[in-house]
Chains A and B, each alone.
Chain A
Amino acid sequence: MMIRLFTGFYSILKGFKVTFKNMLKKPVTLNYPIVKKPMTDRFRGMVDLVPEKCVICYQCIKICPTAALELEHKVLEDNKTKTITKFVFNGELCCFCGFCGEICPTDAIFLNKMYEVSYFAHKDLLTIDLMRKDKYKHVDGGESS
C-alpha cells in the first residue's frame, strides 16, 4: 500500500515536470490571422494571372478539366494586336489541378499561394475577374499576383 502510494506520488511529480517543461516551450501555433505561415513552394492556391504576360493562346481554356476559366479577346484596329476583354475565373468549379499553369507558354497564369478562399457572397466566387489587380484583396493579407 505504502509503496503504491509513493510510486503514485512519484509518477504525479513526473507528470508535473513534463507539463512544466511544456509551459516554458515556444508555442507551435501562430497568432492567426495577424501572423500567417508562408505556404510551401508547390502549394496550389487560387488561379492568378499576370495580364501583361498573356499571349491569348487559349491553351489554359482548352486544358481546364472543369471549364473554370472564361476568356474573351478582341483584335485592335491594326489587325495585329490582340487584347483581352474578359478573363474570368470560376472559383467554385476549379479543382486546383494546376494544368493551366503547366501548359501556359509564358507563365502568365499560375496558382498563387492564397489559401483563404472563402467569399462573402457566392456570386463573387463564381466570377473572379483575373484582370483586376485587387482580385484577392477581400481577405486580409490575401496576396495577388
Chain B
Amino acid sequence: MSVIFLKGLAVLGFIAVSAMFSIWLERKISAWIQNRMGPMMTGFHGTLQPVADTIKLLLKEDIVPKGVDFLSWWLAPFFVTVPVVMAFLVIPFSSKWIALDLNVGVLYVCSVTSICVLGIFMAGWGSNNKYSLLGGMRSAAQIISYEVPLLLSVLLVVMQSGTMSMQGIVAAQEHGWFILKPHLTLAFLIYFISATAEVNRVPFDIPEAESELVAGYHTEYSGMKFAMFFVAEYTNMFIISAIATTLFLGGWQGPFLPGLVWFLLKSYGLVAFLMWMRWTLPRVRMDQMMSFAWKVLTPMALLNLLISGWFMVK
C-alpha cells in the first residue's frame, strides 16, 4: 500500500516539476526564436520564473462567473488533469522505473488520455460563454477526428512488436528503433501530427485560438483551476512525447547513459520540437484541419496499415 502511495507521490512530483520545466523551456524557446532573452530576473536565467507563476496562480482568487453550470464547470479541470496523471501508470522511464507494466499498456494509455476531451467539453459547456462553448465544440471535433489516424498508426507498432505492453514494445526495439523502418517512419509522422492535434498545440490550437475565441474552453477559469488546465496541457505534451519515445524511438534504450536519462532526453527533445513547431507555424483553419484529418491522414494511415500488414503476413 505504502509503495503505491509513494509511487503516486513520485508521479505527482514529477508532473509538477516537468510542467514547470516545460513552461520555462517554452518561454525560452519562444524568446530565442524571436531574438529576445526571455525570463532572466528570477533565478539563474529565469529558472525560478515558473515557481513564481505557480505561487501567483495558487494564491489568486477563484472566481465563479454568474450563470455557470456549476457541477460541470467545477468538475471539468479534474476531468482534464486526472487522466493525465493516470497515463503515467504505464510510462516506462527505464527498465525498472515503471509504476505498472500492464499487458494492455498501449490500449490503456490511449483510452485514458481520450477522457481529456470530456473535461474540455464540460469546461466549454459549463462556462455558459459563447467562446468557451465554441472552443469546447472545436476541441471535441478535433480530438475525435485525430484519434482515428493516431490509433491506426499505434496499431502498426503493436502489430510489429506483437505486444501491447509498453516494456514489451521497448524490448522489441532492442536491435533497432521502429522509426528506422520505412512503414513505421510514416506511422511516426502520422502519430506525431495527430498527437499534436490531440493536445491542442499549434498549428492545431483552434480550440483555444486566442485571436478568435479569447482563450477557448478555459476563458472563464482563473487561479487554481486555470493552473490545472495549464499543467494538464504541458503534461499532455510530455505524455505524447513519452509515448512516441516508447513506441518509435527505442524508449529508454541507448548506449553509455542510464535508461532514465535516455528516456528523458528523447522525450524532452520531442517536447522541445513541439515548442519549436508552435513558434514556427501559423494556425490552420477549422475546415482545413478537419479535411486534413479525414482526407489525408486517415486514408494514409489506413493504407500504411494495409500494405505493411500484408507484408508482415506474407
Please report A residues at the B interface, Cβ cutoff 8 Å: 5, 12, 15-16, 18-20, 22-23, 25-31, 34
Contact = CB atoms under 8 A, between A and B. Distances in A.
Contacts of B32: 22-23, 27
Given A15-B280, A16-B280, A20-B276, A28 B40 contact: no
Given A5-B296, A23-B29, A31-B40, A16 B276 contact: yes
A30 B35 CA distance: 11
Given A5-B296, A20-B276, A31-B40, A15 B35 contact: no
B33 A19 contact: yes
B280 A27 contact: no
Contacts of B31: 27
A20 B277 CA distance: 10
B312 interface: no
Interface residues of B, number: 15
Contact of B37 (A12, A19, A27): A27
A142 B260 CA distance: 50
B35 A29 contact: yes
Contacts of B40: 31, 34
7 closest cross-chain pairs (CB), A and B:
A19-B280, A23-B32, A28-B35, A27-B37, A15-B280, A19-B33, A29-B36
A67 B54 CA distance: 50
B3 interface: no
Contacts of A31: 37, 40
Contact of B279 (A19, A27, A29, A30): A19
Interface string B12-45: 0000000000000000010111111100100000
B281 interface: yes
B26 to A, nearest CB: 13
Contacts of B296: 5
Nearest to B36: A29
Contacts of B35: 22, 25-29
Nearest to A22: B33
A23 B25 CA distance: 13
User: Chain B CB within 10 Å — which of A15, A19, A25 has the most?
Assistant: A19
Given A5-B296, A27-B31, A12 B36 contact: no
A125 to B, nearest CB: 26
A30 B36 CA distance: 8
B112 to A, nearest CB: 31
B129 to A, nearest CB: 34
